[in-house]
Amino acid sequence: MTDQPDSAADFQMAFEDSCDRVPVLLIHGFPLSNMLWDPQIADLSDVARLIAPDLRGHGMTDATEPPYTMKLFTEDCATLLDQLGMTWPIVVAGLSMGGYIALDFCRRYPERVGGLILAATRAGADSDEAKKSRDQAAGVAIAEGTDPIAEGMLPKLLAKENYEAQPELVEFVHDMMLETSPDGVVGALAAMRDRPDSTGDLPGLEVPTLILHGADDQLIPVTEAEAMAAAMPRAKLVIVPDAGHLPNLEQPDFFNDAVRDFLEIFYEE
């Protein structure tokens, strides 16, 4: 009979656990889901522990009655991190509405943020005109559901060339949008309409920050990303060529390389 060790102290077990990678919270945009991050989850898991929730009312996550707020989305994310036992600082990454939530998260939980990735987003609040458009869109979603919202947004989400040349990508994004419940659409529209202006917070955000923006974004102009980068003490701006509002889907290799380079800081001694 072979001698067996009588306690765990007698031997050492080697193991792999991707939890030892820097944790990155990936927050999707409107009206999308965590499928937005498929190319990042497929490629970056060796350098990051990627946590990609579906926001309330989006994807597979339950909807509750609207309206929602940025605070509610932030608290949902913080609760998820708590439930995962995530007590140390993480990198918070958000695309578009996800960026609005990332900035809200920084305001409420600065001690939990070790780095930021802001993609296709802006720091400012809605103009009066934009607020009116949110209310009109909410009226449409209440009366007719998610479909017309998805139809209206789809051509604006991708760069024109990608919209014409990549029908599979268009269909992927369209299907993702249709998973958003009408309550989710209405709730998120209210949250975006009422979000505060985060511009004044930018100079105080001293964590390493990567700002990524599609050169051909039709929804948020590149100048917004440039202004954020100029206002933040440790921000690096990367413009993604041949990409619109979803640069991580339109140019996944370029986007992932930039994220991979950025995350290196977190492994330096």
Residues that bind ligand MLT (CB under 6 A): 29-30, 96-97, 192, 219, 245
Q: Which is nearer to ligand MLT, 192 or 202 (CB)?
A: 192
Q: Which is nearer to ligand MLT, 30 or 68 (CB)?
A: 30
- Closest approach of ligand MLT to the CB of residue 84, in Å: 24
- Closest approach of ligand MLT to the CB of residue 97, in Å: 3
Q: Which is nearer to ligand MLT, 76 or 260 (CB)?
A: 76
- Closest approach of ligand MLT to the CB of residue 235, in Å: 20
Residue 142 main-chain phi, psi, to 5 deg: -65, -40
Do β-strands 113-119 and 48-51 pair in parallel, antiparallel, or remain unpaired?
A: unpaired
Residue 94 main-chain phi, psi, to 5 deg: -140, 140
- Closest approach of ligand MLT to the CB of residue 192, in Å: 5
Q: What is the rounded CA–CA span in Å between residue 20 and residue 112?
A: 17
Q: Which is nearer to ligand MLT, 29 or 214 (CB)?
A: 29
Instruction: Please report where in the chains the tokens 């993702």 appear, as a residue.
Output: 176
Q: What is the rounded CA–CA span in Å between residue 33 and residue 61?
A: 9
Return the structure tokens found at 255. 């986007």
Provide the 10 A C-beta neighbour count for residue 47: 20
Helix (H, G, I), strand (E, B) or coil at 237: strand
Return the structure tokens found at 167. 């029908």
- Closest approach of ligand MLT to the CB of residue 12, in Å: 47
Q: Which is nearer to ligand MLT, 56 or 245 (CB)?
A: 245
Q: Which is nearer to ligand MLT, 152 or 233 (CB)?
A: 152
- Closest approach of ligand MLT to the CB of residue 130, in Å: 7
Is residue 215 within 8 Å of 240, Cβ to Cβ?
Answer: yes
Provide the 10 A C-beta neighbour count for residue 125: 16
